[in-house]
Structure formats: C-alpha cells, structure tokens
Amino acid sequence: MAAKPSSQTEKIAHHAASKWRGGSFEAIDDALAVEEPLEIRLAGRRFTLTMRTPGNDEELAAGFLLAEGFIANANELDEIRRVRDAKGVEEPNAIDVILNVRAEGLRERMKRNFTISSSCGVCGKTSIDSITQRIVPIASRAKVAAAVILQLGERLRESQQVFAATGGLHACGLFDTDGKLLAAREDIGRHNAVDKIAGWALVNEILPLSQSIMLVSGRLSFEIVQKAAAAGVPILAAVSAPSSLAVELADEAAITLVGFLRDGSFNAYTHRARITA
C-alpha cells in the first residue's frame, strides 16, 4: 500500500507578526508549522484523535497502530483510506483503517484506552506495565561507528525543509549503519514523526528495522523508545537528553540508546557494544 504524498504547502501557514529588533517593532510575515487534528477510525468507527502536521497521515496511522500493538505486521493492515463526505469529497482530517484482524482479537485490543496528543503519545495508557510486557528484546548484530553517529544530526537537519522555514517541527530520521538517510519525517509532535517512520517501514514491508539507526530531534522519552522497539530499531539516538524511564526501557528492549548527540560528542546509555571506535 503506497503512502499518499504530501506537499510542503499544506504543512506551512503564514501569519502577520511584529518583530522587536533594534529598539522598535517591524512588521513581518512569519511562517508557521501547521497543526490540525487527525481523526483515525477503525472500520468506520471513531478510534482516536491526534494533533499533527498534515502529510503522511496514512503512515502516521499505520505506525501508531503498530506501536500500540493493534497490528503486528503489514498482513494485518488491509486498507487505509480517506473518509469522504456525503458528496464524495475527501475529508482532509479523517482517515479510516480496515484491519485483517479476527473480531475477537480486535475486541481484546479495543479494551485498551488510547488518547494521543502532539506532546504525549503515551498518555491514557492503562499502565506502563501493559506496554513493557509487549516489548520483546531486539536481536540484532548491527554495528555502527562512532564517527557515523556524529554525522547523523547534520544529515537529518538537511532534510528538514519545513523546520528550516518555520523552526516549529520535530523530526525523525531513519539511517542505515553506514549513515545513509533512508527516510525522514517531520511533525508538530515528536512521537508522530516516529510513527510516520514506523508506518513508512510497515507499508513498505521492511520491518523489523534490525539494521537501522533512528534519530529524533529533542529529548528521548519512554514513548519514543516504545515505538522504536515496536519497529525493531536496535540503535536509537537523540540530540537531547533521555528520561530515566526511557533508559530503563531501552535496557530491557536491548536498544542502544544515545543522547546529547551534538557538538561532536554523544552519551551512550545502554548496550554500548553496538558502537565501534
């Protein structure tokens, strides 16, 4: 199933602003990152709502369902389609997902209560324990040179077209162990950007990502590690700090966790053996 292409114009809005500089205000036209709701339905039934930056919505839905344990692989994903109104016009902020999951299995998965937002994808879970129980330690022989890790931040920034225009988006990049950028996604929510990458990998049937490196902008939270683990990512890095729970989960999931990747250095918190000198 091919993901629907997105344009930069739907991700950027413009608004008049007054900039204080040199002791006075001047009128400017400022570029803003677009934030809009996306309603995700399952077989026509409203499932959840997330605030996101438009674009790659099908990947976002697929990655979210993977991370939350609603689907295990691409075979359980039948179709993702745009919702249409009574006149047959596509709704820009609603998509419907059809799953290849037996009814009793889907009912069991639906018992969980999920609420996601642009700031916290893990909010609304019944318990953290229910998440960690689904995490299987990653078996990967991937190795990466420290010099390659140091190059990833700049390569990801080069791909952030909307961030360059607005300064208002997070990014997630997927690399091979030689540092080649395989895919990059931006979103107002850090966890949405990760879901879009996971969804991209799912619909292209290249899961698990056992020979890949994932880099996220900002900090490393529990939910980011959870989503990386669901996609089978063995090496996860960020330009900022990890939380204590993120480090604990990465250790349990056998993920090499890298933080503070900037200014020519980084910290390795778990499973450092995958990083070579």
| pLDDT for residue 13 | 86
Residue 80 included in any domain: yes
The pLDDT of 71-94, averaged and rounded, is: 92
Higher pLDDT, 235 or 189: 235
CATH number at residue 96: 3.10.20.10
Q: Which residues contact 158 (CB under 8 A, 6 or more apart)?
A: none
> Looking at the structure, do residues 155 and 125 belong to the same domain, yes or no?
no
Which of 86, 110, 132 is a domain's end point?
Answer: 132
Distances (CA, A) of 60 to 143, 186, 202, 205, 270: 28, 11, 11, 15, 28
The pLDDT of 146-172, averaged and rounded, is: 82
> Looking at the structure, do residues 164 and 246 belong to the same domain, yes or no?
yes
pLDDT in tens, 170-189: 899 999 999 999 999 999 99
Packing angle of the helix pair 244-252, 222-230 (nearest 10 deg): 20
> Looking at the structure, do residues 238 and 217 belong to the same domain, yes or no?
yes
| pLDDT for residue 168 | 65
Residue 75 included in any domain: yes
| pLDDT for residue 214 | 98
- What rounded mean pLDDT belongs to the chain? 86
- Residue 96 sits in which domain range? 36-132
Residue 120 above 70 pLDDT? Answer: no
> Looking at the structure, do residues 77 and 153 belong to the same domain, yes or no?
no
| pLDDT for residue 99 | 92
Q: Number of folded domains in the chain? A: 2
> Looking at the structure, do residues 156 and 240 belong to the same domain, yes or no?
yes
> Looking at the structure, do residues 73 and 169 belong to the same domain, yes or no?
no
Higher pLDDT, 261 or 135: 261
The pLDDT of 248-253, averaged and rounded, is: 94
The owner of tokens 């229910």 is 130
The pLDDT of 6-32, averaged and rounded, is: 83
Helix/strand/coil (H, E, C) string of the chain?
A: CCCCCCCCHHHEEEEEEEEEECCEEEEEEEEEECCEEEEEEECCEEEEEEEECCCCHHHHHHHHHHHCCCCCCHHHEEEEEEEECCCCCEEEEEEEEEECCCHHHHHHHHCCCCCCCCCCCCCCCCCHHHHHCCCCCCCCCCCEEHHHHHHHHHHHHHHCHHHHHHCCCEEEEEEECCCCEEEEEEECCHHHHHHHHHHHHHHCCCCCCCCEEEEECCCECHHHHHHHHHCCCCEEEECCCECHHHHHHHHHCCCEEEEEEECCEEEEEECHHHEEC
Residue 245 included in any domain: yes
pLDDT in tens, 192-201: 999 999 999 9
> Looking at the structure, do residues 259 and 181 belong to the same domain, yes or no?
yes
Residue 2 included in any domain: no
> Looking at the structure, do residues 92 and 162 belong to the same domain, yes or no?
no
Confidence of residue 11 (pLDDT cuts 50, 70, 90): confident
Higher pLDDT, 128 or 70: 70
| pLDDT for residue 147 | 96
Residue 95 included in any domain: yes
Residue 13 included in any domain: no
| pLDDT for residue 131 | 65
Instruction: Average the pLDDT over each of 31-35, 149-153, 249-253 and give the range with the smallest value.
Output: 31-35
The owner of tokens 């499973």 is 271
Confidence of residue 118 (pLDDT cuts 50, 70, 90): very low
The reported pTM is 0.85
| pLDDT for residue 111 | 63
Residue 189 included in any domain: yes
Rounded CA separation 38/172 (Å)? 19
Phi–psi pair at 123, nearest 5 degrees: -65, 140
Which of 132, 159, 192 is a domain's end point?
Answer: 132
CATH number at residue 180: 3.40.140.10
The pLDDT of 87-91, averaged and rounded, is: 91
> Looking at the structure, do residues 121 and 179 belong to the same domain, yes or no?
no
Which of 132, 154, 187 is a domain's end point?
Answer: 132
Residue 209 above 50 pLDDT? Answer: yes
- Buried/exposed 171-208: b ≥16 CB within 10 Å, e otherwise: bbbbbebebeebbbbbbbbbbbbbbbbbbbbbbeebbb
Q: Is 123 a catalytic residue?
A: no
| pLDDT for residue 1 | 42
Catalytic one of 98, 106, 120, 254: 120
Confidence of residue 30 (pLDDT cuts 50, 70, 90): confident
> Looking at the structure, do residues 262 and 189 belong to the same domain, yes or no?
yes
Residue 29 included in any domain: no
